[in-house]
């Protein structure tokens, strides 16, 4: 079976596994107070061009999202997000469990715009009967593989400034965004435009880990308490440091991982397009969403694994194929060949 259903089907980059093996029996203090985390934080700050930013590592994305949001919202404030946003649909209500409403903006491509943010935020202030907007949450790339441009992100920042909203970016797949041929955003841009964001490692070559970067000075001191309260403070914290050293040291694997997955995704989606497949979302990143007939998918079933997205009509479904740091070019080629033979 060849797995294309997600970008977390394998373990970690050999370089990261090596770092873990080499340091395994060393003794360090726990909870992120160790030389490896120290170095990893420095590497992340350097990569972001944000020498003053605070950096914290947590194990997973749901934790990172909850912690960011709880750190910036008051109890009567909510987070503006796309209806398709991860916090709105795939975290079993973790934001609400923390007391906050998700103020949703309908979307067809997974993205929200500065104008829609204004429309949500404008009528709220001073109306005590309604949840107030406190922050904007976006993920980039989005859950549907689409990508915000620098201009779009700058406009969202502007809207946030107008309504005194924090801007949070879920970067679970940030490496794959940056590896896209359509990307014009740098880590420096994120550090310049966001109040807090995170750089995903779990899906981008590490065993686990998300690196929360906090350019906004006002909220820096809040995070560690939220991290511990949410059970996101890893006892053997250095493991998280090692993941990020592995991604951001001189090998710069973080960027190579993105390039690799982006190139293979382009190859696959290009071939599909050439074969006449339509796509539900116009994704320039590592997740692609072609529409295929039930008949074709039945034939692929024994050999490939993919992710179901949604039905289209009686005969067709939208499915998700992901590439990742670990995807082998030969597997993509095999898939393309098989498809060509089948249609």
Whichever of 51 and 92 has its CB closer to its own copies, that residue is 92
Site for its own copies, residues 134 to 163, rule: CB under 8 A: none
Give CA–CA dist 142/48, Å, rounded: 21
User: Is residue 302 near its own copies by the rule CB under 8 A?
Assistant: no
Q: Please say whether the beta carbons of 172 and 117 come within 8 A.
A: no
Considering the complex, what minimum distance in angstroms separates the CB of residue 95 from its own copies? 8
* From candidates 40, 54, 59, 193, binder to its own copies by CB under 8 A: 59
Name residue, tokens 């726990």. 30
- Piece in contact with its own copies (CB under 8 A), picked from 2-10, 143-151, 153-161, 285-293: 2-10
Whichever of 59 and 105 has its CB closer to its own copies, that residue is 59
- Piece in contact with its own copies (CB under 8 A), picked from 155-163, 221-229, 259-267, 294-302: 221-229
User: Is residue 41 near its own copies by the rule CB under 8 A?
Assistant: no
User: Is residue 308 near its own copies by the rule CB under 8 A?
Assistant: no
- Piece in contact with its own copies (CB under 8 A), picked from 41-49, 63-71, 272-280, 311-319: 63-71
Give, as one character, the DSSP assignment of residue 320.
E
Whichever of 1 and 341 has its CB closer to its own copies, that residue is 1
Site for its own copies, residues 118 to 137, rule: CB under 8 A: 128-132
Q: Per-residue string for binding with its own copies, 191-220, x by CB under 8 A?
A: -----------xx---xx------------
Q: What is the largest CA-CA distance in the chain?
A: 63
Considering the complex, what minimum distance in angstroms separates the CB of residue 184 from its own copies? 28
Considering the complex, what minimum distance in angstroms separates the CB of residue 136 from its own copies? 17
* From candidates 35, 38, 52, 93, binder to its own copies by CB under 8 A: 93
Name residue, tokens 């394998």. 10
User: Is residue 17 near its own copies by the rule CB under 8 A?
Assistant: yes
Exposure pattern of 111-140 as b/e (b: 16+ CB <10 Å)? Answer: bbebebbeebbeebeeeeeebbbbbbbbbb
Going across the sheet that includes 54-58, the strands are 54-58, 210-214, 196-200, 166-171, 132-139, 77-82, 102-105
User: Is residue 311 near its own copies by the rule CB under 8 A?
Assistant: no
Q: What is the CA radius of gyration of the chain?
A: 20
Whichever of 148 and 254 has its CB closer to its own copies, that residue is 254
Whichever of 78 and 171 has its CB closer to its own copies, that residue is 78
Number of residues that bind its own copies (CB under 8 A): 74
* From candidates 114, 234, 257, 319, binder to its own copies by CB under 8 A: 234
Give CA–CA dist 104/107, Å, rounded: 9
Whichever of 17 and 336 has its CB closer to its own copies, that residue is 17
Q: How far is CA 191 from the centre of its chain?
A: 15
User: Is residue 341 near its own copies by the rule CB under 8 A?
Assistant: no
Q: Please say whether the beta carbons of 328 and 315 come within 8 A.
A: no
H, E, C per residue of 168-236? EEEECCHHHHHCCCCCCCCHHHHHHHCCEEEEECHHHCCCCCEEEEECCHHHCCCHHHHHHHCCCCCCC
Give CA–CA dist 158/39, Å, rounded: 34
Considering the complex, what minimum distance in angstroms separates the CB of residue 78 from its own copies? 6
Site for its own copies, residues 94 to 113, rule: CB under 8 A: 94-102
Q: Please say whether the beta carbons of 49 and 187 come within 8 A.
A: yes
């Amino acid at each position: 079976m060849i797995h294309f259903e997600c970008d977390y089907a394998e373990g970690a980059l050999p370089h990261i596994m090596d770092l873990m093996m080499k340091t395994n029996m060393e003794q360090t203090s726990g909870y992120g107070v160790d030389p490896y985390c120290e170095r990893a934080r420095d590497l992340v700050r350097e990569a972001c061009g944000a020498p003053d930013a605070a950096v914290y590592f947590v194990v997973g994305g749901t934790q990172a999202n909850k912690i960011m949001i709880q750190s910036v919202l008051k109890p009567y404030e909510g987070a503006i997000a796309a209806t398709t946003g991860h916090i709105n649909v795939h975290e079993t209500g973790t934001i609400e469990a923390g007391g906050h409403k998700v103020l949703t903006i309908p979307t067809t491509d997974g993205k929200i715009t500065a104008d829609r943010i204004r429309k949500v935020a404008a009528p709220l202030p001073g109306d005590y009967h309604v949840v107030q907007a406190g922050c904007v949450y976006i993920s980039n790339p989005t859950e549907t593989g689409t990508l915000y441009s620098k201009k779009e992100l700058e406009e969202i920042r502007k809207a946030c400034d107008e309504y005194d909203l924090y801007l949070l970016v879920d970067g679970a797949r940030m490496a794959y965004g940056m590896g896209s041929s359509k990307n014009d955003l740098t880590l420096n841009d994120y550090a310049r435009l966001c109040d807090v964001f995170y750089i995903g490692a779990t899906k981008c070559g590490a065993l686990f880990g998300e690196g929360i970067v906090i350019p906004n000075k006002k909220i820096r001191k809040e995070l560690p308490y939220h991290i511990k309260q949410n059970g996101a403070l890893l006892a053997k914290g250095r493991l998280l440091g090692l993941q990020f050293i592995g991604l951001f040291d001189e090998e710069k694997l973080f960027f190579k991982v993105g390039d690799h997955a982006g190139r293979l995704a382009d190859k696959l989606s290009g071939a599909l397009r050439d074969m006449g497949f339509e796509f539900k979302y116009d994704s320039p990143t590592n997740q692609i969403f072609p529409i295929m007939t039930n008949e074709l998918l039945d034939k692929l079933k024994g050999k490939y694994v993919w992710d179901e997205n949604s039905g289209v009509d009686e005969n067709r479904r939208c499915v998700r194929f992901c590439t990742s740091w670990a995807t082998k070019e030969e597997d993509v080629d095999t898939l393309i060949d098989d498809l060509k033979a089948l249609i």
